[in-house]
Amino acid sequence: MPEMISLEEARALVLAHVEPLPVETVPVLDAVGRVAAVPLASDIDIAPFAHSAMDGFAVRAGDLAAASAETPIELDVIAEIAAGDTYEGPLASGQCVRIMTGAPLPDAADAVVKYEIVDVVSGDGMPGSRVAFTAPTKVRSNVREAGEEAKAGEVIVKAGEVVGTAGVGFLAGCGVVEMPTYLRPRVAIISIGSELVDPDRVPAGGKIRNSNSYALAACAKAAGALPVILPIVEDTHEALAAAVLHAVANFDFVVTSGGASNGDFDFIKPVVEELGALLMTTVNMRPGKAQTFGIVNDIPVFGLPGNPAAAYVGFEMIIRPALRKMQGYTHFERPHVRARLTRDVKKKDPRRIFMRSTLYRNAEGAYEVEPAQNQSSGLFGVIQRSNCMAIMPEGLEGCTAGSLVECVLLDVPEEIVL
């Protein structure tokens, strides 16, 4: 196993060790944002019948061919159809039917003329009235056709497609009330560290609050997974081994944070090696060099570093793609844009650096990116106030103000193209 690998290698390695989970069937409302595991078809034509797109009068377009302002053509209103009703009667030349938006077009009619351009000659426009038309109308004007959006039996959502909010309505309209989709991975979140206390306690005497578990569980949720925050584990080999064994028996993916480096109390690497196969220890990026990955009892175990920003970047860049693959998604890159740096950036570390930054458009509409002043890997607040990470490539010694840098957007779905 090489000591240090690139982020691309790390991501490929982890992706290669996960597969889409088994399929569950969920109510269509719960399908939003999830991947269809099978092709979904409509049971009927959508729309089921040709219907009016306007409130107005259903006519035979041929009757109005010679209509003009000077020589209006008058028709008898013989019936009214509301949405939800049908009119099965005849419609002879010289007749029209008052029709509401959504109501089925009578068989003999072939166009709808909206109220606003029809004059009532006698009566009130209801059946028994006479109405006048001052212009011809095109055949099928203001008609929404049967099967316009889908034919009965036609696949309307392909396997692998992500269902959006409108898609939920589309499926419902097509009679698809449940959707087979991949199970959400159950993710164990374990923070390691004898210095940690739960957030509802006030830390004292060298202790700090466990904030990582909360951020990582939020990241897991945002990735579509089902995280469970497990109890804090003290910095001993035995305690960590027991916690990992318990987690792999009950979850689809295990995420730990802390104890990933080479200190006297860093145990995730030896524990994974002892219990299973250790496949990765270090990634060429900052923050987040110490990234452990392995397989224990067939379950992926990922050991993030303890520093909050390092844990966050490792999750977002490597674990999130894996959790997405387990749910059938096929896009793993967050949207990137190129933006001009607003200030010089010195780079003391040859690793690829993800700078927590704010991306915006300047007065000319061009992207600019302002790296946060404090890039300490111990801080969550800086990420909360950032909207992207500006990437300083490996090897460079710095970037000057005005140079173009790649920025990866935070909290924006991978499917978005910018």
The one of ligand MOO, ligand LQZAQKY5, none whose footprint includes residue 257, by CB under 5 to 8 A per kind, is: ligand LQZAQKY5
Minimal distance, residue 289 CB to ligand MOO, in Å: 4
The one of ligand MOO, ligand LQZAQKY5, none whose footprint includes residue 212, by CB under 5 to 8 A per kind, is: ligand LQZAQKY5
Minimal distance, residue 418 CB to ligand LQZAQKY5, in Å: 30
Distance of alpha carbon 77 from alpha carbon 389, whole angstroms: 66
The one of ligand LQZAQKY5, ligand MOO, none whose footprint includes residue 99, by CB under 5 to 8 A per kind, is: none
Return the number of the residue (196 or 388) whose C-beta is nearest ligand LQZAQKY5: 196
The one of ligand MOO, ligand LQZAQKY5, none whose footprint includes residue 110, by CB under 5 to 8 A per kind, is: none
Minimal distance, residue 318 CB to ligand MOO, in Å: 13
The one of ligand MOO, ligand LQZAQKY5, none whose footprint includes residue 308, by CB under 5 to 8 A per kind, is: ligand LQZAQKY5
Return the number of the residue (324 or 351) whose C-beta is nearest ligand MOO: 351
Minimal distance, residue 216 CB to ligand MOO, in Å: 15
Minimal distance, residue 212 CB to ligand MOO, in Å: 12
Minimal distance, residue 144 CB to ligand LQZAQKY5, in Å: 57
Burial call 244-271: b when 16+ CB within 10 Å, e when fewer: bbebbeebbbbbbbbbbbeeeebbbbeb
Minimal distance, residue 287 CB to ligand MOO, in Å: 4
Return the number of the residue (185 or 308) whose C-beta is nearest ligand LQZAQKY5: 308
The one of ligand LQZAQKY5, ligand MOO, none whose footprint includes residue 258, by CB under 5 to 8 A per kind, is: ligand LQZAQKY5
Return the number of the residue (241 or 260) whose C-beta is nearest ligand MOO: 260
Position of minimal CB gap to ligand LQZAQKY5: 306
The one of ligand LQZAQKY5, ligand MOO, none whose footprint includes residue 260, by CB under 5 to 8 A per kind, is: ligand LQZAQKY5
Return the number of the residue (171 or 304) whose C-beta is nearest ligand LQZAQKY5: 304
Query: Which residues of this chain interact with ligand MOO, rule CB under 6 A?
Result: 286-290, 305, 307, 310, 377
Q: Which two tokens stand for residue 3?
A: 């000591």
Return the number of the residue (193 or 328) whose C-beta is nearest ligand LQZAQKY5: 193
Minimal distance, residue 313 CB to ligand MOO, in Å: 8
Counting Cα atoms < 13 Å in the Cβ hemisphere of 174 gives 25
CB 326 within 8 A of CB 182: yes
Q: Using H for helix, E for strand and C for coil, what is the string for the chain?
A: CCCEECHHHHHHHHHHCCCCCCEEEEEHHHHCCCEECCCEECCCCECCCCEECCCEEEECHHHHCCCCCCCCEEEEEEEEECCCCCCCCCCCCCEEEEECCCCECCCCCCEEEEHHHEEEEECCCCCCCEEEECCCCCCCCCEECCCCCECCCCEEECCCCECCHHHHHHHHHCCCCEEEEECCCEEEEEEECCCEECCCCCCCCCCEECCHHHHHHHHHHHCCCEEEECCCECCCHHHHHHHHHHHHHHCCEEEEECCCCCCCCCCHHHHHHHHCEEEEEEECEECCCEEEEEEECCEEEEEECCCHHHHHHHHHHHHHHHHHHHCCCCCCCCCEEEEEECCCEECCCCCEEEEEEEEEECCCCCEEEEECCCCCCCCCHHHHCCCEEEEECCCCCEECCCCEEEEEECCCCCCCCC
* The pairing of beta strand 253-257 with beta strand 186-191: parallel
Counting Cα atoms < 13 Å in the Cβ hemisphere of 105 gives 27
The one of ligand LQZAQKY5, ligand MOO, none whose footprint includes residue 195, by CB under 5 to 8 A per kind, is: ligand LQZAQKY5
* The pairing of beta strand 130-133 with beta strand 118-122: antiparallel
> For residue 359, which phi and psi values (nearest 5 degrees)?
-100, 135
Return the number of the residue (167 or 305) whose C-beta is nearest ligand MOO: 305
Minimal distance, residue 249 CB to ligand MOO, in Å: 29
Return the number of the residue (219 or 299) whose C-beta is nearest ligand MOO: 219
Query: Which residues of this chain interact with ligand LQZAQKY5, rule CB under 6 A?
Result: 191, 193, 195-196, 208, 210-213, 257-261, 263, 266, 287, 289-290, 305-308, 310, 377-378
The one of ligand MOO, ligand LQZAQKY5, none whose footprint includes residue 259, by CB under 5 to 8 A per kind, is: ligand LQZAQKY5
Return the number of the residue (269 or 320) whose C-beta is nearest ligand LQZAQKY5: 269
